[in-house]
Each structure stands twice: as structure tokens, then as C-alpha cells.
Amino acid sequence: MKITALAGGVGGAKLADGLAQLLPAEDLTVIVNTGDDFEHFGLHVSPDLDTVCYTLAGSANPDTGWGRSGESFTVLQELSTLGQETWFRLGDQDLATHIYRNKRLKEGAPLSLITRELCAFWEIRPTILPMTDQPVQTKVITDVFGILDFQDYFVRHHCEPVVRGFRFDGVETAVPAPGVLEALESADAVVFCPSNPWVSIDPILSLPGVRGALGNQSVVAVSPLIDGKTVKGPAAKMFIELGIPATALSVAEHYGSLLAAFILDDADRKRGYTFPIPVLWTNTLMKTSADRRRLAQDVLNLIRSL
Amino acid sequence: MKITALAGGVGGAKLADGLAQLLPAEDLTVIVNTGDDFEHFGLHVSPDLDTVCYTLAGSANPDTGWGRSGESFTVLQELSTLGQETWFRLGDQDLATHIYRNKRLKEGAPLSLITRELCAFWEIRPTILPMTDQPVQTKVITDVFGILDFQDYFVRHHCEPVVRGFRFDGVETAVPAPGVLEALESADAVVFCPSNPWVSIDPILSLPGVRGALGNQSVVAVSPLIDGKTVKGPAAKMFIELGIPATALSVAEHYGSLLAAFILDDADRKRGYTFPIPVLWTNTLMKTSADRRRLAQDVLNLIRSL
């Protein structure tokens, strides 16, 4: 069964890892949000791509959810003596990734090729694709702080500003990276990982051609909201600030007619939702590697049942 | 007494440090070779500027002569797992300098301004000037390997290829950095530090206007050759391969009519050289910080005697 997954940061990376544990490498493609990409210290940083890759390579920091395990911060400390801001915690090992990517971008290599190269070095066998090789910038429209770059909102402002909406600058003219539309069209099913609908999945869905490619697909989404809360990140807060109940039901409604099936947490059984599509209640919390595999198995079982 | 010194790497940095120990900061300007600058991992690296600055800041590695003391190599090790060559030993602290410089160059800041900023962060009070803000590339013409970039010759090939000559690509159209010609003209004397005449001092002298600015100056050079050998680096080997005796006399002859006086090592007394200009035989070896100050004092005394 060929699966193409859409993923953002930590939650998406975990389910992608679970799928990678179960599927032959050639049957799994992960399309990753690049709307959070930004330039830091003059280097191109792709937070979601790195989180997905580090997680699949087994080198992600399990405590923080970002960066590498066993990380040191020598360069960052030295940069702080050069008057540089340290709100984005770039570790030394992580920095090597950004230096490599920056060098290759400067040489004219597209992000999708660089990602393929990095995956080869890290021995990641499933196909990891950035959603696009062009710059797309997620902007968070806030009440008091105006329009913020995503990392500004997320890391510097700790997601505190009240959200009024989102913009994906550049998305209208961006082209899905080579292989993205093909992976969506040729898959047996598409999985929306439990990533933030607003700032992880929506940027991918906003790319020209992506919704069209999903038109005849069986899409299964996993809710990132468990009992109205997120494990990590501001998705629940965003729903509330946009005037929408922070519930798994709202996630399903957000994706609307794209969905063929939906997975939500056992904790949400009590809410008595009714859905017009097949749903599966299960334990969606992924604390261990076995949890990732178990949830991925639930996803595959649901797809097979469709 | 206002002094302007021309310097390359380690030896030049040491004498510059000695001069900085003796002179009020406002009376010392050091003009540094940038012909060895190169791009590594996509970052602009200025080896001589860094050596001079680290030395004056007291943060240079005393054992290697390059890089920082107490250095770690986490990023480099990680870059090697990404297939990157590690012949140029970029340390973590050192890398912060290159990342900062790269970021500022990308923002459009000229190298001279960036150097001033770095000096402020490192509390280096004398004026340190790159010889130019434009790219000048020292090329080493070799017998078997053809024309090599300087770092290629110096670090990767360990100075082994036989030298046939040098080229300073871009020097004809480069402009001395702001303050360079003024510092040469307004100084009471100019000091050629014990740096490699061929690849450290000559690039500076080749810049348009520099020889003219030196026309009415008292120039004192310190020989980098002691008893026919260098403390570090390929200067002696270069003289020999170019068919010139590797001696302090050859150094003086190389600078020719530019010189008002010359300093060479006691070890060369026995050679019975005669010079048409005032010379001082002294201990030119700088092992300790006190040695640097002592040699700088000799330089200043000789200048005062002219």
C-alpha cells in the first residue's frame, strides 16, 4: 500500500516515523511544510524538514521535540558574544545541517535535491519532499503585534499574540516540488499527520495543484487535538482565537470534503460527535516509538477498511 | 608616535600584538592581507584578519597559530558526516565569526565595517583594517598542480607543490579599504611585520595607491626569515623555489627601495651582510607575550633613531 503523508513538525514527524516502521521505504512519501522556513544568522533554516528528518533518522531530541539529541550550543554561545539574538536555539550539530543546506542553495541546488542528499547521508529511506522548492512564508496575523513571521510568532513571542488569521506569502506563484503532485495522485491513500491544520497542513494544501491532486484520493486525517488540547504547539489556541471551538470535530470540519476518514483520540468519545465519514477512536498520543508504530497501524487499518 | 603596520598571519599578528602592548590604541593601525580570504562551506573566511584579531583579543590558540584557544569541532565533525571535506579545521567558536561575517556581508556590509564591529565585540582597541573591501584572490602558480587557490596550496596541499609565481586576482580593480591610504600617509612610520613577503605583504603592496602612499614614508620591515628559515609557513621554501636565496638579505632586497630600515635576527649576524640602510640585529623570535613587546620596542626604537 503506497502512502503519502503530509506533515509539519513534531506530531507529524512522529506519525511519519510510525509509518516508516511499518511500510517498505519505497511505499512511503512524506511531504513536509516549508512555510516556517526562515533565514537565521544568514542561513536558510527548514525547521519542519529537519524535525521530520531527525525523527526518521533517530537523531531527534526526544525531550525538546526540535533539534538533535546530545546537542551542544558552542557556536550559539559565541554568536551571543557577537551581539546575536539567541531566541532560536541553534545547536552545533543542527547548525551543520543549515550550513550544508545554505552552501548547496548557494550553489543553486533546489531544496528538494538538498533534502534528498541529506536523507542519503542520514540513511533515511522513505522519500521526504519539501512541499515546494520556492520560498513560501507563513505569516501570522495578530491583533496587537500585526503581521508576524512564523518563527517570530512561534519562538520569539512564544505564540502569545492573539491570532486573527494567516497568510502564506508566495504560495500563489510557488510550484509543488518535483514529485509532490505525483506522490499525491499515485498513492493508495493520503494521510494528514496530527500537525497544526492552520500552519503545517494548510500551507501544503494552498499550493497550486495540491487540492486538485487530492480530488480523487482517500484522505485520512489524524486529529492533533486530544480532548480539546494539543500535545505541543498552538493549534488549540489558534482555533479558539479564530472563534472556532478547539475540538477534534473542528479539525475534521476544517479539512471538510477533502476527508475520506478521520482518526481522533479515545478521550473524545465522550463528546458524542457524529461524523458523515468513517472515523476511528483510538489512542493518538505518541510517547514512545511503539506508540508511533501502533497509531500508524491504526491509520493503515482504517485505510484498508475504506 | 603613530604607527601603521602591514600584517598577514601568525608572525604579523604577534608583532602587531607587541605594538598594541606599547602604543596608545589610537596610534596603531594594522592593515591586514585579505588575499587568502576564501569561501568555505558557503561562508566567507578571512584567515589573516581572524588571526590578527584573535591574537589581539588574546583568544588565539597559542599552539596552532590559527583558530581559537579551547576550541571544539562539533560542527565540523557533523559536516564530515554530510560528506564535507575537513582539511580546513573550522572550530565551533571560529565558525561563529564566519557566520557573523557571512550574515553581515549578505546584508551588504563591507568587510571593513564588519571588522570594526568584530573588534568592538572583542574589545580590540587599535584600528584593524582589511586591505580592501573588494575580493582579491591570491593564486599560487605551481609546477605540477597548476594555479592553486591559496588555501588549497596552503592547507590542503600542505605547501608541497613547487612554486613558480603568484597572482593576486582582482587586485588591479580593487580599492584599498576606507582608511588604508590615510593610515599609510599619516603614520610617523610604517612597519612591515614578519609576515610572508610573497603572499602576505605583497598583496597589500599590489593594491592601487599603496606604493604611492608609501613613497614618502619611513618603512621598517622585520625579516620573517631567521637564519634562512621561517618560524612557520612556506616563505623560505618559496624563495628557494623562485631561485632566490632564502635569507634575510633577500627579504630586504625584495622590498628594495621601499625600506628606510630593516630588522633581522641575531642569528644572521654571522652572515656578514652589508645593507645600504640602517639595520638592527636583535632577537626576532616571539615565543611569549613579552617577546612580542620586546621586538615591538626594538622596532619603535629603530624608528625613533631614523
* Residue type (1 letter), A48: D
- pLDDT for residue B63 is more than 90: no
pLDDT at B124: 98
Q: What is the pTM of this model?
A: 0.92
Which of A44, A75, A102, A119 is the best substitution to test chain B (most B C-beta atoms within 10 A)?
A75
A and B: number of Cβ contacts within 8 A: 85
Please tell me whether residues A88 and A49 are part of one structural domain.
yes
B interface with A, Cβ–Cβ below 8 Å = 41-43, 72, 74-76, 78-79, 81-84, 92-93, 95-97, 99-100, 102-104, 106-107, 117-118, 121
Please tell me whether residues A156 and A55 are part of one structural domain.
no
Q: Which cell goes with B235?
A: 616563505
Does any domain span residue B150? Answer: no
How far apart are alpha carbons A45 and A49 in whole angstroms? 9
CATH number at residue A241: 3.40.50.10680
How far apart are alpha carbons A234 and A245 in whole angstroms? 14
Please list every residue in chain A whose beta carbon sits closer than 8 Å to the beta carbon of residue B41. 99-100, 102-103
Mean per-residue pLDDT, B142-156: 93
Other CB atoms closer than 10 Å to residue B70's CB: what's the count? 9
Please list every residue in chain A whose beta carbon sits closer than 8 Å to the beta carbon of residue B75. 75, 92-93, 95-96, 99
pLDDT category at A236 given cuts 50, 70, 90 is: very high
Which of B99, B101, B118, B121 is the best substitution to test chain A (most A C-beta atoms within 10 A)?
B99
- CA-nearest of A286, A282, A285, A287 to A300 is A282
- CA-nearest of B123, B8, B6 to B59 is B123
pLDDT at B16: 98
How far apart are alpha carbons B183 and B191 in whole angstroms? 12
Minimum distance, in Å, between the CA of residue B108 and any CA atom of chain A: 12
Does any domain span residue B268? Answer: yes
CB B221 within 8 A of CB B259: yes
Please list every residue in chain A whose beta carbon sits closer than 8 Å to the beta carbon of residue B100. 41, 79, 82, 84
Minimum distance, in Å, between the CA of residue A81 and any CA atom of chain B: 7
Please list every residue in chain B whose beta carbon sits closer than 8 Å to the beta carbon of residue A84. 100
- pLDDT for residue A65 is more than 80: no
pLDDT at B66: 78
Please list every residue in chain A whose beta carbon sits closer than 8 Å to the beta carbon of residue B79. 96, 99-100
How far apart are alpha carbons A42 and A152 in whole angstroms? 16
Bridge partners, residue B3, by sequence: B28, B189
pLDDT at B156: 86
- Condensed to tens digits (0 to 9), the pLDDT of residues B215-259 reads 989 999 999 999 999 988 899 999 999 999 999 999 999 999 999
**Hey, are the CB atoms on B42 and A103 less than 8 Å from each other?**
yes
Does any domain span residue B161? Answer: no
Other CB atoms closer than 10 Å to residue B54's CB: what's the count? 22
Minimum distance, in Å, between the CA of residue A234 and any CA atom of chain B: 31
**Hey, are the CB atoms on A99 and B43 less than 8 Å from each other?**
yes
Q: Which cell goes with A139?
A: 505569516
Please list every residue in chain B whose beta carbon sits closer than 8 Å to the beta carbon of residue A103. 41-43
pLDDT at B64: 81
Which of A54, A71, A92, A93 is the best substitution to test chain B (most B C-beta atoms within 10 A)?
A92
Contacts of B122 (CB under 8 A, 6+ apart): B53, B56, B57, B59
pLDDT at A142: 96
Please tell me whether residues A20 and A74 are part of one structural domain.
yes
pLDDT at A289: 94
Please tell me whether residues A116 and A150 are part of one structural domain.
no
Cα–Cα distances in Å, from B173 out to A55, A242, B35, B138, B139? 50, 59, 14, 14, 16
pLDDT category at A87 given cuts 50, 70, 90 is: confident
- The radius of gyration of chain B from alpha carbons, rounded to an integer in Å, stands at 18
Q: Are strands B279-282 and B261-265 parallel, antiparallel or unpaired?
A: parallel
Other CB atoms closer than 10 Å to residue B123's CB: what's the count? 9
Contacts of A134 (CB under 8 A, 6+ apart): A170, A173, A174, A175
- Give kind and range of the element (H or E) at residue A183: helix A180-186
Which of B82, B119, B122 is the best substitution to test chain A (most A C-beta atoms within 10 A)?
B82
pLDDT at B244: 97
Please tell me whether residues A53 and A26 are part of one structural domain.
yes
Identify the domain boundary among A151, A169, A187.
Answer: A169
Domain containing residue B53: 3-137+171-305
Please tell me whether residues A152 and A7 are part of one structural domain.
no
Nearest chain A residue to B71, by CA: A74
Does any domain span residue B154? Answer: no
- CA-nearest of A75, A57, A253 to B100 is A75
pLDDT at A269: 94
How far apart are alpha carbons A29 and A206 in whole angstroms? 19
Q: Are strands B28-32 and B3-7 parallel, antiparallel or unpaired?
A: parallel
**Hey, are the CB atoms on A100 and B79 less than 8 Å from each other?**
yes
Please list every residue in chain B whose beta carbon sits closer than 8 Å to the beta carbon of residue A83. 117, 121
Which of A41, A72, A74 is the best substitution to test chain B (most B C-beta atoms within 10 A)?
A74
How far apart are alpha carbons B190 and B180 in whole angstroms? 12
Number of domains in chain B: 1
**Hey, are the CB atoms on B82 and A118 less than 8 Å from each other?**
yes
Please list every residue in chain B whose beta carbon sits closer than 8 Å to the beta carbon of residue A117. 83
Q: Taking all residues of chain B, what is their mean pLDDT, rounded to a whole number?
A: 96
* Residue type (1 letter), A207: L
Does any domain span residue B163? Answer: no
Please tell me whether residues A149 and A63 are part of one structural domain.
no
End-to-end CA distance of chain A: 13
pLDDT at A63: 83
- pLDDT for residue B180 is more than 80: yes
User: What per-residue string of b and e applies to B208-217 under the rule 16 or more CB within 10 Å gives b?
Assistant: eebeebbeeb
Q: Answer positive or negative: Cα dihedral of A201, A202, A204, A210.
A: positive
